[in-house]
Structure 1
Amino acid sequence: MFTLASLPRAVVGAPMAGGPSTPALAAAVSNAGGLGFLAAGYKDAGAVAAEIARVRQLTPRPFGVNLFVPDQANTGGTGTSGRVAAALAYREQLAREYPQYPPDLLPLPDPADDDGWDAKLELVHRLQVPVVSFTFGLPGQDVMAALTAAGSAVAVTVTTVEEAALAVSAGARMLCLQGPEAGGHRGTFNAAGEPPAQPLAELVRAVRAAAGPGVELIAAGGIGAAADAQALRGAGADAVQIGTALLLSPEAGTSPVHRAALQDPQFNTTALTRAFSGRTARGLANRFMAEHPDAPAAYPLVNQVTKTLRAKAAAAGDPHGMSLWAGTGWRSAVPQPAAETVERISAGWPPRPAGAG
């Protein structure tokens, strides 16, 4: 079974749903000695199966697939009826602000949508994906046990010591520790709660002390240079995860508008927002985020509602009407092959021989 200790370079390519993660990117990271990831979020099982097959054509090395835990499996948050009402009210507000998109052109929120959870679980189990990771909550203990029995290493994204303890108690032996510096959605178990602000290095030290040496830790968030990675390794991480640093690589599926914004001096900071999806996420601060500071905590319902707006903005080349997910280290992203970024981030670490334990 896969372990982080087997990586020649202790760098994980973050799963980035919505386009940036591609089979080419996952394979490039793995071929460079790291661990590449596919993002199964927002895709049906058939599309994920095709991407898994493509990765296996491009690399013989281990890779991972990330799944979103559906909201029904999470703890905390408001009731379904309250979240639907909040998303519908937000939809009406957006229709008033954007008269070219009246309510009948904005998708209705669908609380029954679980992102194809059962089908994707069956898929990664049947295809024996080397690493299966979960974000937005804990899958059932039986789910993790079945994947482990099938030969998959299981990882869970956590943002606090308490979430880490729950994951370990449920059987996880690999944790992705996501700090507040990370781009994209925060992986908090409680989608409606305020995400923690504990810096990543402090989180790594705290979880390492609580979990002990039997649990492997991946540190994620704001990592743009070898010095960042070395500091986190010194805090107790077994590997670091990079996402924003890979957005400009030619293998990434980052949209042209997003690529341009990452290099545009008009975007000079990142900020947290619920405006696009109803779940707290970090991205380049733009007009839509500024105009909707009170968007409801109703993921994935808000994400469904704004889908048309975001797609139209991207098609029109408008970076201020779409999500531009990026971590605090976005300035370190450069348009270079993913393998070069993996090598740059891991510079100064003695590479491990392939297959070393």
Structure 2
Amino acid sequence: MPPKQASRSSRTASGGSASGSPRGGPPRILCAADVRLGGIAERLPPLAGEAAESAAGASRRQWETLLDAAAEADAVVLLGRLLDPAADLRAERALRQGLDRLAAADVAAFAVTDEPLPDDLPLTVLAPDEPSEIELSRGDESLAVLRTLAGAAAFPVPDGLPVLGVSVAADADADGCDAFFTSSLPGDAPGTLIVLPETAGAGGGTSEPRGERPVRFFAPVLDLPDEPADLPARLRHAAPPPADGERLRIVDWTLRLGPWGDRLTDADADALAAALSDARALHSVALLPHPDRFADDDEEEPGEAAAFLEALAHFDPLGDAPPLPGVAPNPDRVRELATRFAAPLLSAG
């Protein structure tokens, strides 16, 4: 079966900025994936007070930062869900008001989604499973081509215009595109401003993060072979610096400790997390032995990890196994070594 021929339509991207001054330079398109207005970030621990309020309103604040970033764009492309399944009327109102704001600034808005949306939104909806092309223009000047990549399709020759390919599939065939955006690309920022070359195949296109995430997640791993003088201060110094727009951070620390850490308990880890946490930052702390403690040092005596593995291999919780020559039964020693090493061994398996 021959590839499906994708149709080409046209759309005015922008005639000028909100102040009336014409835009110039190369095409600029702001892309974002899974805006999910009205949703609450996953992986959140139980929240209360100011932290809960920050999490509940994060999607709307994130949407506002994207709208601010759209001031420098000719068009906005939204992939995936625009409204979270749990969205309420406030989220729908924020979406409509934001799209009206784009329309008032002559910024064309596109959504590549199959979700049901409210009627009469100033938005061009493109089916994610249907290949298509839309030609963007500034006033009477052709600007760029927005190409929805889906399945096998034969696309029209872009006539010298730069092409931005968008797809919900990360492995879409982006041949013939000057830039490509998929829902798997976004990183720490919610949006990406893609600047295309002024002609097809000219090169020089760039992509830069835009917008802010009010709720941010971190999972730092810190190696502490030697005991620091002030452990809470050491972690505060190692924490990532706050970003613009950040209202709540969730930090899940993994501390890999030398022998000094064997005296720390789960209660100590909880107390350390509590000392680091406040209304804008919630911390959790996991304590593990440093991996270097699993390596033997070529001495005649085996290292701690080797001793534990050998003891564990001979350990019979039912007590029915005959005694092994040269291995003294010592359940307390097995328990001590297991507390120190079993969790890392299981997680590495």
TM category (shorter chain) comes to 0.3 to 0.5
Q: TM-score if structure 2 supplies the norm length?
A: 0.32
Kindly indicate whether structure 1 or structure 2 has the higher relative contact order, using CA contacts under 8 Å at least 6 residues apart.
Answer: 1
Q: TM-score if structure 1 supplies the norm length?
A: 0.32
* Structure (1 or 2) with the larger CA radius of gyration: 2
Higher relative strand content: 2
